[in-house]
């Protein structure tokens, strides 16, 4: 089967060999986009979060062929060349990254939140990130990072 979709602004075409392949598998093993992570592959941890036509989804729960003709943004699509996206920059500065396995998914979820709600209060941040597990940080510095990113993105 041939899958055609738009990934981070580029048209991509890949062959899907088995109809059961998930979007996560195809991103990682057929497109070489390894930033979306395989922590649970059960839709529980959010490590593989991507935007599908602007909606935050777990790539492990989407069949690859479902995205035919659709638009994807993955963690690889946030940074503009050498410049990190403000959410990425804030995660680095706030010390929100330890092992980093949850980081791409959390950044996608935070990016998605700040697109629609540039100045979230803490309970809103917590609700928005509740689908993303982190085992290292205890989330304190992740909250710091989202607040920092929100403040920077809100600036003209």
Partner 1 sequence: MTKTLRTREVLGVGESVGRPDATPKVKGEFAYSSDLWAPFMLWGATVRCPHPHARIRRIDVSTALALRGVHAVLTHEDVPGHKLFGLEVADQPVLAWDVVRFQGEAVAIVAADHPETARRAAGLVNVDYEALEPLTDPEVAISPDAPLLHPRGNVTRHVKIRRGDATASADVVVSGVYELGMQDQAPLGPESGLAVPAEDGGVDLYIATQWLHRDRDQIAMSLGLAPDKVRLTLAGVGGAFGAREDVSMQIHACLLALRTRRPVKIVYSREESFFGHVHRHPGRLTYEHGATRDGRLVYVRARILLDGGAYTSSSPAVAANAACFAVGPYRCPNASIDSIIAYTNNPPCGAMRGFGAVQTCFAYESQMDRLADVLGISPIELRLRNAMHGGDAVLPTGQRVRGPVPVAELLKRLQALPDPADQVTSPADLRALPGGVSNTTHGEGLRRGVGYAVGFKNVGFSEGFDDYSTARVRLELADGRPVVNVHTAAAEVGQGLVTVCAQVARTELGVEEVVVHPSDTSVGSAGSSSASRQTYCTGGAVQAACQAVRQEILRRAGSGDWEQASSELIALLAGEAVEATREFRHRPTQPLDPETGQGHAHVQHAFAAHRAVVDVDVELGMVRVVEIATVQDVGRAINPQAVEGQLEGGTAQGLGLALMEEVQVEGGVVRNPSFTDYLIPTILDMPPVRAEILELGDPEAPYGLKGAGEPPTISSTPAIVAAIRAATGRPLTRVPIRPQDIAQ
Positions touching partner 1 (CB under 8 A) are 17-18, 20-21, 25, 28-29, 33-42, 44-45, 47, 74-76, 78-79, 84, 88-89, 91-93, 95, 97-104, 107, 123, 125-127, 129-143
Structure tokens at 120: 């979230």
- Distance in Å, CB of 2 to partner 1, minimum: 18
Q: Which residue number, 52 or 156, has a Cβ lying nearer to partner 1? A: 52
Whole-number minimum distance, CB 68 to partner 1, in Å? 20
* Smallest distance, partner 1 to C-beta of residue 8, A: 11
CB of 6 or CB of 139, closer to partner 1:
139
Q: Which is nearer to partner 1, 6 or 133 (CB)?
A: 133
The neighbour count for residue 74, using CB atoms within 10 Å, is 22
- The CB-of-119 to partner 1 minimum distance in angstroms stands at 17
When the beta carbons of 69 and 80 are compared against partner 1, the nearer one is 80
């Amino acid at each position: 089967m041939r899958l055609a979709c738009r990934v981070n602004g580029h048209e991509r075409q890949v062959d899907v060999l088995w109809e059961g392949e998930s979007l996560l598998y195809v991103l990682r093993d057929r497109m070489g986009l390894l930033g979306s992570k395989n922590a649970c592959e059960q839709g529980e941890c959010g490590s593989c979060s991507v935007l599908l036509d602007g909606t935050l989804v777990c790539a492990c729960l989407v069949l690859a062929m479902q995205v035919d003709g659709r638009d994807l943004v993955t963690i690889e699509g946030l940074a503009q060349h050498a410049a990190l996206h403000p959410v990425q920059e804030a995660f680095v500065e706030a010390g929100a990254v330890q092992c980093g396995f949850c980081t791409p998914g959390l950044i996608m979820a935070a990016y998605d939140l700040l697109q629609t709600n540039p100045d979230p209060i803490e309970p809103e941040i917590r609700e928005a990130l509740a689908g993303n597990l982190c085992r290292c940080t205890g989330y304190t510095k992740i909250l710091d990072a989202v607040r920092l990113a929100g403040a920077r993105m809100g600036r003209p």
